[in-house]
Structure 1
């Protein structure tokens, strides 16, 4: 594999702009090839004129640089490699070291408190140190059924909580004389400390150490890739220009760049570690470099490994298991290409998925053919097509989401981190982290197809015999059995292949669905608002739930349609109501009216729109038609503007791309000379905006079409189909926009709560603003690592329009709430002078 491809595949997506621009360097060398060749021809001509020159004369020509060589050394090596790329990479590397140092200090404090508890010290002493109790001594009540249920809900993230602005003790009239400091409004899942068991404390510490270990591996990989890239690009320059600048460059880099110094120190330390681990130790030559070798990442990695494998281990078996886990997570033990494809199961999964999907979609096409050609008064048209069509919309959404995942994968949008919190390189190898076989797309497609096949068979039978029973009832039972299959202990001999790997997916779906049903009772996570928006496009499916129960009730079939059922209208309002409650909860947690109250108003208009449509369908009067048109126009306009400007961050006035934004990952790579995108690839954004506006106003069909067309099942199915397609486009650009935010914030690691409060801040003052309250009015696109977490005020007076133009592109970052990485980090904290001096000595 060529290094350029290796760099592209191994680079962390959120840090892509901070790596050496190796491809640009190759382009620059290629662009000056003609001048270099002309210089070589001139040298050869001079050598030929000189006739039979002596060896000393040839050596003199080789050791002396021509004017064109000196020009390119200044332009390429001095100005571009050292003056631009090395400075950029080195600054970012030092910024990452500062982040790692702060996290290390916090983890060190957490482990120190944990060891104090383990050493059987009095609980009061620990309480004095941490300022307020986090862990309570075990009592009989902790073993009660209620306590176990509370702990289980906390582990599943299903424990309801009050908003941050409401304090239960204050409501009951109790004042806290001593307790935790008030939590800064905005961004925390656990606004008050919770009682944790020893096992929960150990689990939180273990998760935090693993997360930090992965972050260290990413920084190490960043350092090694860039050091290798600089060496290779200068070597390629020497080969192209006929110079010998690589030794001079390496000497300069090792003397002035901490990134190169630490990389060299890491080699010496690893070599020494390998020699110390050998049974027969070989005498090593001690050099000044090896004596003074200091690599902070190596030191932190060794210490974290010790904490994880020794301090948090309960016995030898647990220690062995943790040692093996930490070894597998290390980038030094990454899989190679041969091993990746030797155990590759994606080919088989795609084959089974393709076969099952082909058969299932063929049967679905047959049912739609029957439904579209059936008479309006027939059972097929009256309730079979709407009921099965509602399920079709769900399956269509699932398949489109998998297609969206593939699109994100191809465009290097780190959707797995955004949606599931997976750290880069946690799954898959370094060199092949973006290999399709390392993703879960084939597995999910396989599972979706296995669900689709029995469903399509039951649907085809139902349409063929024009009966609903028992096929419509058999399908939910079949789906429940398949969904719960891995939990049935007696089914091991009947277990489907790869079905056990769905455990995390099933849990995520169940937990997120419960949180969505109880919107307002939980802080809003990414999955909550994401699933809520998807369900908003499935109002057709939601409304058909009423039709299902109406068919099996004593109600005449003529009164089960949308023109007679109020329940269908109520159900169609519920998804917008859920999202509205989530917006209100976000406002209650953050205290920021923008954008949460405006977003809540938008979904309130969605509730009004669906309610007015139901009223208009029940009675086709001019008055209700006018109310419906007015509400629908407002809802469509507000929603379309919100989609394009707020959710997608498009239509930015100062963007380099007309009516778009600066970063367009779906538009492919930038031009290496001017940094512009291909005009043809940018068209997808313009088409997406037009498509979103068109489908947002598809309600016009209900306003202008005759009642026979409005109440037609085919019309409703077609409009639901187009709405699902619109949501598919929305999802792609919404996740891409979230990735853009992560790129500008250099955010690559997850955020795990720690059991104890800390007096050490996670970020510096300018960085803490974005972490705590996002400081959206002050956000600017970062150019240097010191602006990675933008929020520092520039000192100049900005107009209202300038502030608005900065707020709007980042408003989407507040749709959901980030979990705090470290508990009580806001508690009267200040940065330690000892930590700063330690960093200075390391660097």
Structure 2
């Protein structure tokens, strides 16, 4: 693979604009090469074609004297004593010199940009390391106080069952960093991972605390003084409450402060340890990406200077790379030392000195694509197509749609199986979204908050959709044969239970606690669904409102699920749908079940409005409230057909909801139609290179929103059955939601890119009185 492709592949997506612009520098060098070649062709005349070409100026093998005559790099001081570099090209008067001046000017801009970004991020990790070090002191003191409530620091110099800690901000001595070369860091870190797979020497299960406190490691220093009273360390320390559960939210409503005094109980200690463990993992991930950022940019500068030497026949690489290596970017030792200290602290305090276990948490392995997933996806796809063809041929051969009893049967049985069809279509759209997110380098695992190595690929989602399609189509085909054949009358009860059996099977698999069929993804889905149902008692996260938005497009699927209650709960399995609407309970559920997703989004908007005090969330909540009104009015009109007043109300409410939702989709959720954008009628940043795709998407969103309005008012073609039209409109809404999902996540990704936000914000467990004093000052 060429370096340019590898460089782009290894970029942190949210930091892409902070990397060196390698392609633009290559473009300038291509101009230089073309200029040199054109001059060379003009210089070689026919009479001199066979003469020996003299060597180009500058292709000498001498060292520093020739190099110093090519460029002169100066280090200047900017605002706030910040360094920046400016290169003077000493051979500007020669042919092609202007292009080389442009190259070095651009090279300096990129070096200053990359170096400034790296120093800013390095300052951030220093501050965060100081915070984590302070948090670890409090955690160790809390451990001592909880596990030894009657013991103070002066009573004993040794404390059982308490892990030690070490500072993350220790000043690095010369012994720590001598002989460290940047280009050897990758192999050295890998070697460190392999040479200590077992717990540290001296650690034992019988007395782990003693082993950790007494072991001698050059990277380990104790910051906690075990001879002092833990209450002195914990003085002024309070526990943070983030209102992350319904109970804590309810408590927070009646309390002004989200901080409480320490209660020194085991549950409090457990929660603090868990939150600090997550903070260390996220901090280590940040250090790894920062180190990789330094390595890739240093490699890019080295590669581009080699290309310059090749195209210009001058020797300037060593002079310029000396400046790069002496910059902050070329000295990643501080990041490496921080990584080593985080590893030691994390292994000692959060993995019982088991290095293998600790490194597995700090460095989770990337997910590996399996060939059996592709094979099974193709196999199930073929089976689904074959089953679908068999169903169509069966209906045509028996001419079911030409018989009254056959039409009634299809009206009764089809809604039960349409539920699975809507789910399959939604999974297919999600698989397509994942594919295009990856193609456009949209960091969807970070946005959704998936644990590394657990996110599903588009092949795996496609496998789930085709597998579900095979199960549903097989049940439908079996149902048809048993219903239409004379021998099937003896198995009428079994035949009626087939769709319910498939539904129960899907629910059992979804909520199964066993480690089968992507358990982590199933748990993530069920946990997010539960948070949506409990809105607004949980703080809203991106997965919460994203899932709730997906459910708003599954209104017909939710109503199909209500039919199961009518058929099997109200004893209408023999009379089917024609009798369901005569039950007041069914009609109530028919309205409520369609409103629930919009109501969840409305409550989520209210929660964010209370937390952020942003009127945008109020407008978003009013949008969902208008949709709730439109759905209720439309449903009442459907149940009371023929009343003009309800039709007018349905038309007005649906028109208002459609306009508000269309505007919000395009302008707010997608971030398009910006007035002062450099891309006319779009936005400044675009992940899709073909701009026409955005205009097509906007037009399709308007058309499909109008199709939803037609569904509301039951406009249908006379040649198609009512249920067919309803199914088509519901499927179009699901496809519109799939298109919306791609551009919504693209806009979220670009918002993160604009703020260089590549990490989760992890709340720390402790707060301090002195921090409040600093804020007041």
Structure 2-normalised TM-score?
A: 0.75
Instruction: Describe how 1:616-627 pairs up with structure 2 within 5 A.
Output: 616-619=637-640, 620-627=642-649
Q: Distance in 2 between matches of 1:105 and 1:393?
A: 51
Aligned with 1:596 (options 607, 617, 627):
617
Unaligned runs of 5+ residues in structure 1 are: 136-153, 171-175, 183-191, 264-294, 429-437, 488-498, 668-680, 761-825, 833-843
1:351 Cα deviation (Å)? 0.9
Q: Is the 8 A contact 1:238 1:245 kept in 2?
A: yes
Corresponding residue of 1:259: 329
1:632 Cα deviation (Å)? 0.6
Give per-residue Cα distances to partners, 1:776-807, cap 9 Å, x unaligned: xxxxxxxxxxxxxxxxxxxxxxxxxxxxxxxx
1:628 Cα deviation (Å)? 0.6
Aligned with 2:140 (options 115, 138, 158):
115
1:717 Cα deviation (Å)? 0.5
Aligned with 2:498 (options 471, 476, 481):
471
Corresponding residue of 2:486: none
Which secondary structure does the structure 1 equivalent of 2:759 belong to? coil
Q: Is the 8 A contact 2:32 2:96 kept in 1?
A: no
- Alpha carbons of structure 1 residues 463 and 735: separation in structure 2 relative to 1, 3 Å: farther
Aligned with 1:440 (options 436, 445, 457):
457
Q: Is the 8 A contact 2:141 2:234 kept in 1?
A: no
Aligned with 1:579 (options 598, 601, 605):
601
Q: Distance in 2 between matches of 1:601 and 1:56?
A: 73
- Alpha carbons of structure 1 residues 519 and 60: separation in structure 2 relative to 1, 3 Å: closer
Which secondary structure does the structure 2 equivalent of 1:469 belong to? helix
Q: Distance in 1 between matches of 2:52 and 2:496?
A: 101
1:759 Cα deviation (Å)? 7.0
- Alpha carbons of structure 1 residues 664 and 163: separation in structure 2 relative to 1, 3 Å: farther
Instruction: Describe how 1:368-387 pairs up with structure 2 within 5 A.
Output: 374=401, 378-387=407-416
1:546 Cα deviation (Å)? 2.5
- Alpha carbons of structure 1 residues 755 and 207: separation in structure 2 relative to 1, 3 Å: same
Instruction: Compare 21-30 and 209-218 and name the one that shifted more.
Output: 21-30
Aligned with 1:353 (options 357, 366, 377):
377
Aligned with 2:591 (options 565, 569, 577):
569
- Alpha carbons of structure 1 residues 547 and 500: separation in structure 2 relative to 1, 3 Å: closer
1:55 Cα deviation (Å)? 11
- Alpha carbons of structure 1 residues 484 and 606: separation in structure 2 relative to 1, 3 Å: closer
User: Does 1:526 pair with 2:542?
Assistant: yes
Q: Distance in 1 between matches of 2:748 and 2:54?
A: 66
Corresponding residue of 1:450: 467
- Alpha carbons of structure 1 residues 323 and 15: separation in structure 2 relative to 1, 3 Å: closer
Which secondary structure does the structure 2 equivalent of 1:757 belong to? strand
1:753 Cα deviation (Å)? 2.5
Corresponding residue of 1:689: 698
Which secondary structure does the structure 2 equivalent of 1:716 belong to? helix
Q: Is the 8 A contact 2:532 2:544 kept in 1?
A: yes
1:232 Cα deviation (Å)? 0.9
- Alpha carbons of structure 1 residues 360 and 717: separation in structure 2 relative to 1, 3 Å: same
Instruction: Describe how 1:417-816 pairs up with structure 2 within 5 A.
Output: 417-422=446-451, 426-427=452-453, 440-466=457-483, 469-484=496-511, 487=514, 500=516, 502-552=518-568, 553-554=570-571, 557-560=577-580, 565-592=587-614, 594-619=615-640, 620-667=642-689, 681-698=690-707, 699-700=709-710, 703=713, 705=715, 712-758=722-768
Q: How many residues align?
A: 643
Give per-residue Cα distances to partners, 1:302-332, cap 9 Å, x unaligned: 2212211224443x5x344224654x45xxx
User: Does 1:35 pair with 2:35?
Assistant: yes
Corresponding residue of 1:188: none
Aligned with 1:363 (options 375, 381, 387):
387
The structure whose RCO (Cα within 8 Å, separation 6+) is larger is 1
Give per-residue Cα distances to partners, 1:424-461, cap 9 Å, x unaligned: xx559xxxxxxxxx963333433443343323211221
User: Does 1:80 pair with 2:90?
Assistant: no
- Alpha carbons of structure 1 residues 193 and 25: separation in structure 2 relative to 1, 3 Å: farther
Instruction: Describe how 1:235-274 pairs up with structure 2 within 5 A.
Output: 235-255=306-326, 257-260=327-330, 262-263=331-332
User: Does 1:218 pair with 2:238?
Assistant: no
Unaligned runs of 5+ residues in structure 2 are: 70-90, 146-151, 153-228, 484-491
Q: Is the 8 A contact 2:239 2:767 kept in 1?
A: no
1:370 Cα deviation (Å)? 6.8
Corresponding residue of 1:408: 437
Q: Is the 8 A contact 1:20 1:85 kept in 2?
A: yes
User: Does 1:168 pair with 2:254?
Assistant: yes
Q: Is the 8 A contact 1:695 1:723 kept in 2?
A: yes
Give per-residue Cα distances to partners, 1:684-718, cap 9 Å, x unaligned: 11111111111111223554737978981111111
Q: Distance in 2 between matches of 1:706 and 1:129?
A: 69
Q: Is the 8 A contact 2:606 2:617 kept in 1?
A: yes
Give per-residue Cα distances to partners, 1:644-670, cap 9 Å, x unaligned: 001001000011112111111123xxx
1:354 Cα deviation (Å)? 1.7
- Alpha carbons of structure 1 residues 566 and 101: separation in structure 2 relative to 1, 3 Å: same
Q: Distance in 1 between matches of 2:592 and 2:34?
A: 73
1:33 Cα deviation (Å)? 2.2
1:53 Cα deviation (Å)? 12
Corresponding residue of 1:394: 423
Give per-residue Cα distances to partners, 1:555-605, cap 9 Å, x unaligned: 65423359994532332122211211111122122232x211111111111
1:501 Cα deviation (Å)? 6.3
Corresponding residue of 2:18: 18
Corresponding residue of 1:101: 126
1:524 Cα deviation (Å)? 1.2
Q: Is the 8 A contact 1:162 1:521 kept in 2?
A: yes
Q: Distance in 1 between matches of 2:284 and 2:11?
A: 18
Q: Distance in 2 between matches of 1:38 and 1:61?
A: 26
Which secondary structure does the structure 1 equivalent of 2:259 belong to? coil
- Alpha carbons of structure 1 residues 348 and 313: separation in structure 2 relative to 1, 3 Å: closer
Corresponding residue of 1:180: 259
1:404 Cα deviation (Å)? 0.5
Give per-residue Cα distances to partners, 1:206-260, cap 9 Å, x unaligned: 22112111111101111111111011101101110111111221233344x2212
Corresponding residue of 2:339: 301
Corresponding residue of 1:769: none
Give per-residue Cα distances to partners, 1:265-304, cap 9 Å, x unaligned: xxxxxxxxxxxxxxxxxxxxxxxxxxxxxx3212211221
Instruction: Describe how 1:137-148 pairs up with structure 2 within 5 A.
Output: none
Q: Distance in 1 between matches of 2:502 and 2:59?
A: 84
Q: Distance in 2 between matches of 1:659 and 1:716?
A: 34
